[in-house]
Chain A
Amino acid sequence: MNEQQGSSGPAKHHVPDYRYHTLVVTVENKSGVLARLAALFSRRGFNIESLAVAPTDDERFSRVTVVVDLESAPLEQIIKQLDKLVNVVNIRELHPGHAVERELMIVTVAAGPDRRDELVEQLDRAGGKVLSVGADAMMLSLVGPPIRIDEFEELLGQYGIIELQRTGRVALANLDEND
């Protein structure tokens, strides 16, 4: 399975949105349910681009935001197979452009005193925060749409990324999209 929780490698080139699709899957909050989802994706040859899981306001359920790669399988088949899992309560498709999508990145960047001002200026423009400053490095965080995170990650390449973690995207439907 080409499953990635966020991205820890070098910045990816942005790929057109139509290849990826965001599904919000409400599942029963029981042990083993995430394994069932992951096993289904593996068994059917569906690729996951990113995956984020957390309990909802109702403790019986968890909300899974999964970005699927439509080159591996048609969206309809992915949804129908997911729906067959007994622990899957609801699946909502978030159309590209009709949802607010966010991702959090925390990153440690090589930046000695001579490059810090420049880095902080770029970080400010992107809306990020400085979390910690060391002798030769800074730890930063940035929240934003995944495409902005991609861009900023690429920009950080010139400084040297020491360690990086992205959460994978979470999403909510636009206000006017909610029933």
Chain B
Amino acid sequence: MKMDGGQALIRALELEGVDVMFGLPGGAILPVYDPIIDSSIRHILVRHEQGAGHMAEGYAHATGRPGVAMVTSGPGATNIVTPLCDAHLDSVPMVVITGQVPYAAIGTDAFQECDTTGITQSVTKHNFLVSEAQDIPRTIKEAFHIATTGRPGPVLVDIPKDIVDPDNPRSALEWTDDVEMDLPGYSPRTEVDPAAIAAAADLIRAAERPVLYVGGGILKARAAEALKELAELTGIHVVTTLMARGAFPDSHDLCLGMPGMHGNFTAVTAMQESDLLIALGARFDDRVTGRLDGFAQGAKIIHVDIDAAELGKVRRPDVAILGDCRVAIEALVSDLSSNGVGGADRGAWRSRVSGWQERFPLSYEQAQAGDALKPQMVIERLRDATPDDTIVASGVGQHQMWASQYWSFEHPYTWINSGGLGTMGFSIPAAIGAKAGCPDKMVWAVDGDGCFQMTAQELVTATVEKIPIKVALLNNSYLGMVRQWQEMFYDERYSEVFLSKDVPDYKGWAESMGCVAMRVDSPEEVDAAIAKANEVDDRPVVIDFRVTAAEKVYPMVPSGASNSELVVPPSQQDQPR
């Protein structure tokens, strides 16, 4: 069948099962926007290309399917570099299509030309510059294959205008349904080495103080069910990293919650005191380990990862298992079921863990009558007033940590945040993408005022496209996390962290973008505002919660310190450890 490159590109996306894409047209990508009119794919027109990228990420996080974004050349491409890097660090499957100047003009500094594949090389899993129209269908197939297999990640496809422009003879191609991929250097391995499984099972049987250290790879591998089976079979406690919140239910007896710099005392200390860490799809990030030479010094390590380069990158494992997390966990379950879970005495360990849980729960000082609103309390009320399967998307900073700490995640794929890159402004577009992919679920963005001002314009997108997300804005007038560091580590010398008490008028701004908006100043107003927001289902809602700037995120491992030097909230500082 004869086609032009633009038609072939959209047809190839349809064949990959794309139902929603996020983008913004411009000169170089213009010819591809014409066939979109006739396509089954829903295109969501964003207000800034960064929004398109984070929406695609939010969609991918929530649905498990690759997110797709399409933007033009030059500034369109450079504006989506941050989402690409974000997706790269958090292993989010995403395909980004960028327009490019005509092939013959590449290298001439043409209008809106930039070296997109060069710029994005280090922030993508792979990228392509397509030179011939005939290569478009195969390249799209390869892009989706690479983005979604092995360790998932973002793939960019750069498309010169002449090969998609129907007025240019270079755009003509012969469409065939069965294109073959040509990727001789790409063959991710999913099956696991039985000998490594057996060795890992032996370590598990012998361990007296084991901890399952669960990272985002569990979610990517769709392994939450398998993980629960492994934990319950062995009775081993589970910590879920920032990227894995929801992979194991917070209400489960074996769940210790989040470890790391702002992890809770029990999760951090159980890892420190463990004799066996079973790392599943986790990468020993510095925010989890603290100072590396002081991290879990007495622990042997079993490390399961689908990316061979993670095995031994930071901490040398005693047993390395290369492969898919779900396959590995199922193999472990099978071995431990057949050969026994071992007779190690873990009674003393269990009582130590429960002792920590009793002495060092997550806590903050409740507001007294007349006190300002506490951000942690807003999260708790929101948690209690929303369904169990509500999707929470957060920005980056204090509000992100409080959301992760005080929410109770009961289901996988209900927590969406920017972990590796720490991208402020992530939450609103990510929430929109999640809601576009899961229209039947309630989606709340938990945001800070610094973050909100970076990407709030996408609420216009949400209104116009009828994507009714809700935003809980924890507004303390500060870049709160930076303020916290300046308070604790720079002698309370506050440098460039105060935003403003009264501008912008968030309620007025949100209303101007078509949202229902409320402002909440006191604790008494919180429940009513949330209840009202939950009733709105035809447009976005923003609640401007005016919270105190005095609250700090606790516990905290100071930067560069060992996890054993975890700072607990003032009320717990006299407790014996």
Contacts and interface: CB of A to CB of B under 8 A. Distances in A.
A35 B118 CA distance: 8
B122 A77 contact: no
A97 interface: no
Contacts of A32: 117-118, 129
B155 to A, nearest CB: 9
Given A36-B121, A39-B121, A43-B122, A86 B309 contact: no
Interface residues of A, number: 22
B118 A77 contact: no
Contacts of B121: 35-36, 39
Nearest to B150: A84
A130 interface: no
A81 B129 contact: no
Nearest to A89: B185
Contacts of B117: 32
Contact of B308 (A31, A80, A89): A80
Given A39-B122, A86-B146, A77 B309 contact: yes
Nearest to B131: A31
A35 B309 CA distance: 20
Contacts of B185: 27-28, 85-90
A80 B126 contact: no
Given A36-B121, A39-B121, A77-B313, A28 B308 contact: no
Contacts of A80: 308-309, 311, 313
Interface string B307-322: 1110111000000000
Contacts of A86: 125-126, 146, 183, 185-186
Contacts of A90: 185
A60 B184 CA distance: 10
B353 to A, nearest CB: 34
B265 to A, nearest CB: 33
Interface in A30-84: 31-32, 35-36, 39-40, 43, 60, 76-77, 80-81, 83-84
B313 A84 contact: no
B307 A84 contact: yes
A27 B122 CA distance: 18
Interface in B305-349: 307-309, 311-313
Given A39-B121, A39-B122, A43-B122, A28 B184 contact: yes
A88 B308 CA distance: 15
Interface in A16-38: 27-28, 31-32, 35-36
Nearest to A61: B184
B150 to A, nearest CB: 9
Contacts of B122: 39-40, 43
Contacts of B126: 86
A43 B311 CA distance: 19
Contacts of B311: 80
B143 to A, nearest CB: 10
A87 B184 CA distance: 8
A43 B118 CA distance: 13
A16 to B, nearest CB: 24
Contacts of A43: 122
A10 B307 CA distance: 42
Nearest to B129: A32
A27 B185 CA distance: 8
A88 B184 CA distance: 8
Contact of B312 (A40, A60, A77): A77
B309 A81 contact: yes
A88 B125 CA distance: 13
A36 B146 CA distance: 17
Contacts of B308: 80, 83
Contacts of A85: 185
Contacts of B118: 32, 35
B88 to A, nearest CB: 11
A82 to B, nearest CB: 9
Given A35-B121, A86-B126, A86-B146, A76 B312 contact: yes
Interface in B286-313: 307-309, 311-313
Nearest to B184: A89
A15 B307 CA distance: 33
Contacts of B313: 77, 80
A84 B309 contact: yes
A32 B156 CA distance: 15
Residue among A36, A77, A86 having the largest count of chain B Cβ atoms under 10 Å:
A86
A45 B435 CA distance: 40
Nearest to A90: B185
A27 B186 CA distance: 11
A146 B137 CA distance: 47
Interface in B106-139: 117-118, 121-122, 125-126, 129
Contacts of A83: 308-309
A70 B311 CA distance: 18
27 contacts: A28-B185, A31-B129, A32-B117, A32-B118, A35-B118, A36-B121, A40-B122, A43-B122, A60-B184, A77-B309, A77-B312, A77-B313, A80-B309, A80-B311, A80-B313, A81-B309, A83-B308, A85-B185, A86-B125, A86-B146, A86-B183, A86-B185, A86-B186, A87-B185, A89-B184, A89-B185, A90-B185
Given A36-B121, A85-B185, A86-B183, 4 more contacts: A32-B129, A35-B121, A60-B184, A80-B308
The 6 lowest CB-CB distance pairs between A and B, nearest first, are A80-B309, A89-B185, A86-B126, A86-B186, A80-B308, A88-B185
